[in-house]
Structure 1
Amino acid sequence: MLIRILPELGHFALILALGMAMLQASVPLIGAATRRPLWMAFAQPMAWGQFAFLVIAYLCLTASFAFDDFSVAYVANNSNSMLPWYYKLSAVWGSHEGSVLLWVLILGGWSFAVSVFSRRLPRDMLARVLAVMGWISSGFLLFILLTSDPFTRVLPNVPGDGADLNPLLQDFGLIVHPPMLYMGYVGFSVVFAFAMAALLGGRLDAAWTRWARPWTNVAWAFLTVGIALGSWWAYYELGWGGWWFWDPVENASLLPWLAGTALIHSLAVTEKRGTFKNWTVLLAIFTFSLSLLGTFLVRSGVLTSVHAFANDPSRGTFILVLLGITVGLSLAIFALRAPRVQSLSGFGWLSRDSLLLINNILLVIMTVTVLLGTIYPLLLDALGLGKISVGPPYFNALFVPLTVLLCIFMGLGPLARWKRMPGRELARRLGLAAVIAIVIAAGLPLLYGGSFSLSVTLGLLLALWLTLSLVRDVFDKTRRGRTGKTGGRGRLARLRKLTLSYWGMVLGHLGLAVTIVGVVMVSHYNVEKNVRLSPGEQVEVGGYQFAMTDFHERRGPNYVADTATIRVDRPGRASFTMQPEKRFFMASGMPMTEVALRPGLFSDLYLALGEQLDNGDWSLRIQIKPFVRWLWLGALIMAAGGLLAVIDRRYRKAPKRAQAGARGAPDPIEDADMAAEGAR
C-alpha cells in the first residue's frame, strides 16, 4: 500500500521543502537586519528540515524506479522492467525532471553542510549565507513544482512497460558523472552566498574570503572530476574516440570551471594581502551565474544533446527569469556596496600579486571567449538572423594561445614574492629551469616520434616549465631555515613545515602540466584507421596485427549484441584479445556501439565496431592513442590539490584575525622566505 502512494508522498515532501526554503530565505535575513538572535537562529533548523524533505522526495522517486511504478510518467519514459537495477537507480537523474531534483537535493546538502560546519561564523553572517542559499532553493523548488514535477501520474492508462532509458546513458559513466558535476555546479552557490552575505552585512574584508575558500576549493575539485568523467565517458562510450569536441553542453561545464579557477586564486590574494576585494566578489557572482547559465543551456531546450533534457519552452523561460533575477539583484547589491570598499595594500608590477592578477585576467578572457562561441549562434538563431556553427577551429585558434600565456605566468607565480620583487632575482631563480625545459622539450619529439614537431615541443615546454618552476620553488623553500642551517635534516624539517594549502597549489599546477602532456601527445601522435574485416582476416596498424578470430551474437539483460573477437599481436609481446560490440536495445529499438579498450599509462588501443558491409565484412575503427589517460590523470591530480588545500589546519580554526585589516592572513612560510631573502 505504501508503494502506491510514494509519488504523492514525494510530491508533498517537495511542497514542505519549498515552505521551509522560503522561511529559510526570509526570517534569518530579517533577523540579521534587525539584530534578532532568535530569528537568525531560525536558519539552521530550516536548512536541516529542507534537506530532510528533499531526501524523502528523492527516495520516493528512486523507489518508484526500483519497483517499476509505470503509473509515474517520468518512470514510464525513462525505465523498463528489463533494465538492470543499478541503471534504474541512475535513471532517476537520467532525464530532465529527475536531474533538476538531484540539483536541488545537492543544493540542500550544501546548505546542510554549511549550517553544520560553519557554526564558528558570526551569527549574522551565517544567517545571511543560509538565507541566500534558501532563496536559490526556493527558485528551483518552484521550478520543479510548476514546470518539472517528476511525480506526475499517467492515470488511468498505465503502460504495461516503460520506454527504457536512453542506451547512451546505460553506462557506469552516467552513475558517477552527473552527481560529481552537480556537486561542482551547486557548490559554487556557497561562495556566492558568502559574497552576498558579506555585501549585505557590509563586511567585505579578508574574513569572508577565509571562510569561503574551503567551500570554493571543494566545489572546484568536484567540478574538475565531473568534467574529467564526462570527457572519459564520451571517449569510450560514443565510439568516435575523441575526448573534447567543444560542444555547447561541454562548454556549459567548462565556463564555471574557468571562472572558478580565477576565483580560487583571487580568494587567496584577498585573504593574504587584502587586495582584489571587489574583483573577488565579482568573480563569485560571475562563477555562480555561469553555473546557472549552464543549467539554462542544458535544460531550456535551446540545445540538442544527449544531456540537453528539456524541450518545453516554459522551462527555459523560467530558468532564464531565475538567472536574470539572480544576476541582476546580485550586481545591484554589488554596485551599491562595492564603492565603499577600499584596498589599503599596493604592489609592484613584478610581484606575486600582479602575476595572479594577470592570470585572473587571462582566465576571464578565456571564459568570455568560450562564452561568446557558445551563445553567439544561439542568439542569432533566437533573433531570426540565421543559423551558424561555431566549432573547434574558433575555440582552438583563441583558446590555445591564451593557455600558452597562462602557463607562462603560472610558472612565474610560485617563485615571485608578494608586493614586489626584483626582476633579476626572479630571472636568476628560473633561468636554469627555463634552459632545462627548452632542451628536454626539443629533444623528446625526436626520441619519441623520430622527427621534430613545433607544436609538441611547445606543449612539452609549457608542461616542463610548470613542473620545474614548482621543483625550484620547493627547493628554495627548503634550502635554508631561519637559523641558516643547511643539510639533509634541516631541509627535511623545513619541508615538513610547508602547509597543506601550499602542497595543494603544487598538485594543482602539476596536474595541469600532466593534462597538457596528454593533450599534446594524443593530438599529434594519434593513429587512426578504418578497416574492413571478416573472421579469418587480419590487418596491420601502427605496428600491431589485428586479426578477427570469431564473430558471434550475445544476449545481455535488455539487449542483443553482435560481438567480434579480435586477436592483437605485436612483435616481442604476448598476444591478447579484444571484443568490440554492436548492441541493439530491444525496448527502445536503438543500436549502440560498445568499444573495446586496452588501457595503458602511455597508450590506449581503441576498437569500435561499425556497420556490416554488403559482402558480410564488418567495418572496424582502430585507434592508437598515446598518453590519452594523462588527460584524466592530470584532472584527478588537480582535484586532489584542491581537496588537500581544504584540509589545511588553518581552515579548521576560527579566523582569529578576521578583522585584521588589509593584510589578511599571511602565510608563515612566505614570511620566512621574505625574512631569509632580506638577510641575504
Structure 2
Amino acid sequence: MIPEIGYFSLVLAMALSLLLCIFPMWGAYTGNLRLMRAAPSLAVGQCLFVLVSFAILIYVTLIDDFTVAYVAHHSSTSLPWYYKVTSTWGGHEGAILLWLVMQSSWTALVALMSKSLPWVLRARVLGVLGFLGVGFMLYTLWMSSPFERLLPYFPVEGRDLNPLLQDPGMIIHPPLLYMGYVGLSVSFAFAIAALLTGKLDNTWAKWSRPWTMVAWGFLTLGITIGSWWAYSELGWGGWWFWDPVENASLMPWLVATALLHSLASTEKRGIFKSWTVLLAITAFSLCLLGTFIVRSGIIVSVHAFATDPDRGLFILTFLLVVVGGSLALYAMRVSEVKSEGRYKLLSREVSLWANNIFLVVATLIVLLGTLLPMIHKELGLGSISIGVPFFNQMFSVLIVPFALLLGIAPLLRWKQNKLTPLAKKALGLVAAALLLTASWLYSSYDTVSILTFVATALGVWIVLGALLDIFEKVTVEKHILNGFKRQSMSYWAMILGHVGIAFVVAGVALTSAYSVERSVSMKAGDTAVLNEYTYRFEGVKEIRGPNYSGHAGVVNVLKEGNIVTELYAEKRLYDVGMQFMTEAAIDDGFFRDLYLALGEQLSNGNWSLRIYHKPYVRWMWLGGLLISIAGFLVVADKRYRRRPKYTETAEAKI
C-alpha cells in the first residue's frame, strides 16, 4: 500500500503542476490577479507531494521491499544503508524522480523568494516552470514509475546496486549535478517570461542572475565531484576521458558560463539583451539534450542509465517541443529588443563578448564531437570515432586566447579604456608571468615542453591579473581594510572564479605533462622505484566488507629510506552480482598524488600492480571547488536582496 501512496502523490503533484502551468499564465494574459496569486501555493503544493513520493521510495528501499521492481533491481539486503539511499537515484526511474525533486524544489524556491517581482512576471516564470514539471511528471507516471510492483511473484533478494556506484562520490554527485541542470530551468523560465511580457530590460537580468549563478555553482560542483569519482573509482588514474555523458554535462556548463557574463553586461549596461535570452534558452536546452543522451540508450557508458528507445523518444519529443517553442517565441520577439549601452573596442563589454564567443565555439566543438558519431551510426553510415586527441587539440587552441582574456578582463573598465596605461599593465603582467613560470618549472623539471610552459604561464597570468586588480581597488582607500570591505560579493565571485580557472588550467597542463606510470609484477618483499619514491610490496591480505570480499595489496612507500605512507589497493568481489571491482589506493597531497591499483595474480604467484605519480592533479578539483564557491557568493551580494517594490493595483492594470 505504501508504494501506491508514493505513486498517488506523484499523480497529485502532476495535477498541481498542470494547474500551475494554466492558472498563472491565463491570469497574466487576462490581468486576473487572483489567478496569478494562486501560483505560489500551487508551486509549494506540488513540491510537497513530490517530496512525499521520494521519501516513500527511500523508505521502501531501506526496508528491502522487493515487491517494488525498482528496489529489487537496484538494492539488496546486504547493501549498507547509505548506499541504499544512493540506490534511489542509482537507476533510471529513481534518477528521474530525483530530477522531479529538484525541479519542484527550485519552483517552490522561486515562488517563495520572488515576492518583490511584479505579479505578471512572477506568474509567467512559475507558469513556465509548471509546464516543465508537467512534462517530466507525465514521463515519470507514464513510462518511468519507480513504484511498479512485482506481485504476486517477487524475489527474496535484490540484484544489488551497481558496484561502480557504491562510492562516496556517487552519494553527492548526481544530486549536485541535477541541482545545476534543473536550476538552469529557472534562467530559462525568466527568459521565456520576459519574452512573453515583452520587457527585456535590465531588470529581468538582475532578477535572473543570482538564480543562474547558484545553478551554475551546483553544476560546477557536480562536474568536479564526477571527475574526482572517475579518477578514484575507475582505477585507471584518469580524471576526464571525453565520454559522451561527461560531455553532456560540460556543454550546458560552457553555455551557462557565457550566460553569466552576458547577464552581467545586460544588467549593468543594457547590452546583449537578445543574446542573453538566447543563451538562457540554449543552456537549458542542452540540459534536456544531455538527459536524452544519458537515457535514450543510444550510447554505452558507465554513466548511462537506460536502454529503452521509447523513453528516449519521449524525451526527444519533449526536447523538440521546449526548444522549438522557445525559439519560435524568441524569433517573434527579438526584433523588438534594442540594446542601450555604447562602448569602444577597448572595453570590458568587448572582452565579455569575446569571452562568450570562445565559450560558444567550445560548446559547438563538444556538441560536434559528441553527436556526430551517434548520427553517423543511426544513419547507417557505419561507426566513426572522435576521441580524446580531437578534443584535446581543439581545446588547446581555444584555451590560449580565452585565458589571455581572463587575465586582462579584471583590469578593463566599462565603456572605454586608455590604451597606454592598459598596455603597460599587460606587458608587466606578461613579464612577471613568464619569469615566475620559468623559475617554477625549470627548477622542478629537467625538460619543459612549449605547450606545458605556455599553459602554466597562462594560469599564472590569470592569477597575477586578479591580484593586480585587487591591489588597485583596495589601495584607493587610505585604509586597506576599508578598500576590501567596499568590494561587492559579485566582485569577489569574479576574482575567485578566475583564480579557480587558473588552477584548473595549470593543473591540467602539469599533470598531463609530468604524470608517470609503471606496471610491475611483484611478490612480497619486492620493490619498484618511480621518481623519487620506492614502493615495497608487503603482500596481500584477505578483506571482507558488508557486501563484498576480496584482497588488499599492502604497499609501503618510502622516500630516502623513510616510510611516507602505507597504501591498500583492493580487488573486490561483490556477493550478489559476483562482479570484480578495483579500488585504487591514493596518497593525496597538494603537489602530487601517489596512486596504486592492484591487478590480477599471475601464474607464477606474483601480483600485477600499476603505480602512478601524478603531480598537481588536485589543483583541478581545487579549481572546480573555487569556481563553484564563486557561484554561491553572488547570493550574498546586497544588490540581489534589495528588490524594487510593486503595488498590486499597478500590476493588475498590466
Indicate whether the TM-score tops 0.5. yes
Deviations 1:274-328 (A, max 9, x none): 0000000000000000011111100111111122111110000000000000000
Letter in 1 for 2:403: C
Q: Which runs of 4+ in 1 moved over 4 A?
A: none
1:611-644: CA deviation from partner (whole Å, max 9, x where unpaired): 1111111110000111111110011111111111
Which position in structure 2 is the counterpart of 1:388? Answer: 384
Q: Which of 620, 625, 636 in structure 1 is aligned with 2:625?
A: 636
2: CA distance between counterparts of 1:439 and 1:552?
50
Task: Tell me if the contact between 1:207 and 1:655 (Cα under 8 Å) persists in the aligned partners.
Answer: no
Q: Measure the CA separation in 1 of the matches of 2:58 and 2:392.
A: 42
Confirm or deny that 1:504 pairs with 2:493. yes
Partner of 2:554: 565
- Tell me the CA shift for residue 368 of structure 1: 0.5
2-side partners of 1:102 and 1:306: how far apart? 19
Deviations 1:182-207 (A, max 9, x none): 00000000010000000001111000
Query: Of 496, 504, 511, which aligns to 1:515?
Result: 504
Counterparts of 1:539 and 1:435, CA distance in 2: 42
Q: State the Cα distance separating 1:553 from its structure 2 match.
A: 1.2
Q: CA deviation at 1:606?
A: 0.4
Structure 1 unpaired stretches of 5+: 482-486, 658-680
Q: Number of residue pairs matched?
A: 647
Other-structure match for 2:566: 577
Aligned partners of 2:86 and 2:17: how far apart in 1? 26
Aligned-residue sequence identity (percent) comes to: 48
Alignment check: 8 A CA contact 2:410 2:469 kept: yes
Q: Any residues of structure 2 matched to 1:584-595 within 5 Å, and which?
A: 584-595=573-584
* Alignment partners' CA distance in 2, 1:588 and 1:386: 34
Q: Which residue of the other structure, out of 456, 463, 474, is the alignment partner of 1:460?
A: 456
Match of 1:229 among 225, 230, 252: 225
Corresponding residue for residue 247 of structure 2: 251
Counterpart residue identity of residue 252, structure 2: P
Deviation at 1:422, TM superposition (A): 2.2
Q: What letter corresponds to residue 18 of structure 1 in structure 2?
A: M
For residue 531 of structure 1, give the secondary structure of its aligned residue in structure 2: strand
* 1:327 corresponding residue in structure 2: 323
Q: Matched residues in 1 for 2:474 and 2:627: separation?
A: 23
Per-residue deviation, residues 582-636 of structure 1 (Å, max 9, x unmatched): 0000100100001111111111110000111111111100001111111100111
Matches within 5 A, 1:22-421: 22-421=18-417
**8 A contact 2:116–2:645 mirrored in 1:** no
Structure 2 partner of 1:660: none
Question: Does structure 2 retain, via aligned residues, the 8 Å contact 1:603–1:624?
Answer: yes
- Structure 1 counterpart SS, 2:156: coil
Task: Spell out, residue by residue over 1:57-98, the C-alpha distance to the aligned partner (whole angstroms, 9 max, x if none).
Answer: 101111110000001111101011111111000000001000
- Secondary structure of the corresponding residue to residue 519 of structure 2: strand
Do 1:210 and 1:655's aligned partners in 2 also have CA atoms closer than 8 Å? no
The one-letter code of the counterpart of 1:454 is I
* Structure 2 partner of 1:672: none
Alignment partners' CA distance in 2, 1:373 and 1:305: 16
Distance 2:190 2:36 in 1: 16
Distance 1:326 1:589 in 2: 43
TM-score by length of 1: 0.94
CA distance in structure 1 between the aligned counterparts of 2:565 and 2:626, rounded to whole angstroms? 31
Q: How far apart are the structure 1 equivalents of 2:516 and 2:389?
A: 21
Instruction: Give the superposition deviation at 1:443.
Output: 2.8
**Aligned equivalents of 1:472, 1:575: Cα separation in 2:** 39
Find the partner of 1:611 among 583, 597, 600.
Answer: 600
Q: Separation in 1 of the partners of 2:641 and 2:25?
A: 26
1:529 counterpart SS class: strand
C-alpha distance in 1, partners of 2:83/2:448?
Answer: 48
State how far apart, in whole Å, the 2-side matches of 1:576 and 1:187 are. Answer: 42
For structure 1, which segment, 371-380 or 548-557, has the greater mean C-alpha deviation from structure 2 after superposition? 548-557
- In 1, Cα distance between equivalents of 2:638 and 2:623: 26
Cα deviation digits, residues 363-417 of structure 1 (max 9, x gap):
0000011011000001111111111111011111111211111111122211111
Instruction: Report the AA paired with residue 375 of structure 1.
Output: L
The answer to whether the 8 Å contact 2:17/2:46 transfers is yes
Deviations 1:202-245 (A, max 9, x none): 11100000000000000000000000000000001000000000
The one-letter code sitting in structure 1 at the alignment partner of 2:275 is W
Give the counterpart letter for 2:641 in structure 1: R
Match of 1:426 in 2: 422
Instruction: Return the offset for 1:655.
Output: 4.0
CA distance in structure 2 between the aligned counterparts of 1:478 and 1:192, rounded to whole angstroms: 37
Tell me if the contact between 2:74 and 2:160 (Cα under 8 Å) persists in the aligned partners.
yes
How many angstroms apart in 2 are the aligned matches of 1:472 and 1:98?
A: 49
Give 1:55 shift.
0.4
The Cα of 1:113 is off from its aligned counterpart by 0.6
Q: Distance in 2 between matches of 1:28 and 1:415?
A: 45
The AA in structure 2 aligned to 1:319 is I
Cα offset, 1:656, TM superposition: 7.2
CA offsets per residue over residues 23-69 of structure 1, 9 Å max, x none? 00011000001000100011111101100000011011111100000
SS in 2 for 1:522: helix
1:113 maps to amino acid: L
Contact 1:433 1:468 in 2 (8 A): yes
SS of aligned partner of 2:633: helix
Moved more, 356-365 or 450-459: 450-459
Contact map agreement 2:556 2:563 (CA 8 A) in 1: no
Shift in alpha-carbon separation, 1:53–1:355, aligned structure 2, 3 A: same
* 3-state SS of paired residue (1:93): coil
RMSD: 1.3
Which has the higher mean CA deviation after the structures are superposed, 25-34 or 438-447? 438-447
Match of 2:520 in 1: 531
1:652 is matched with which residue? Answer: 641
Shift of 1:431: 2.1
What is the DSSP-based 3-state SS (H/G/I as helix, E as strand, rest coil) of the residue aligned with 1:553?
strand
Q: Distance in 2 between matches of 1:225 and 1:329?
A: 31
Look up the match of 2:440. 444
Task: State the alpha-carbon separation in 1 of the partners of residues 179 and 374 from structure 2.
Answer: 27
1:545 aligned residue: 534
Decide whether the 8 Å contact of 1:199 with 1:337 is kept in 2: yes
**CA-CA distance at 1:556 after TM superposition:** 0.9
Letter in structure 2 aligned against 1:493 = N
Of residues 242-251 and 400-409 in structure 1, the stretch that sits farther from structure 2 once superposed is 400-409
- How far apart, CA to CA, are the structure 1 residues paired with 2:590 and 2:384? 39
Q: Check conservation: 1:115, 1:130, Cα contact below 8 A.
A: yes
Offset of residue 332 of structure 1: 0.6
Letter of the structure 1 residue corresponding to residue 429 of structure 2: A
Q: Secondary structure at the match of 2:187?
A: helix
The aligned amino acid for 2:642 is K
Larger mean CA deviation between 115-124 and 421-430 belongs to 421-430
1:283 corresponds to which letter in structure 2?
L
For each residue in 1:478-517, what CA deviation from the matched residue of structure 2 results, as whole angstroms up to 9, or x when unmatched? 3335xxxxx5x2x332222111110110000000001111
Contact 1:445 1:456 in 2 (8 A): no
The 8 Å contact of residues 117 and 645 in structure 2, kept in 1 or not, is answered as no
**Secondary structure of 1:580 counterpart:** strand
Q: Secondary structure at the match of 2:88?
A: helix
Q: Is 1:602 aligned to residue 591 of structure 2?
A: yes
Shift of 1:456: 1.9
Asked whether the equivalents of residues 466 and 513 of structure 1 are also in contact (C-alpha less than 8 Å), the reply is yes
Alignment check: 8 A CA contact 1:562 1:583 kept:
yes
TM-score (norm 2): 0.97
1:569 alignment partner AA: L
- Quote how far apart the aligned CAs of 1:572 are: 5.9
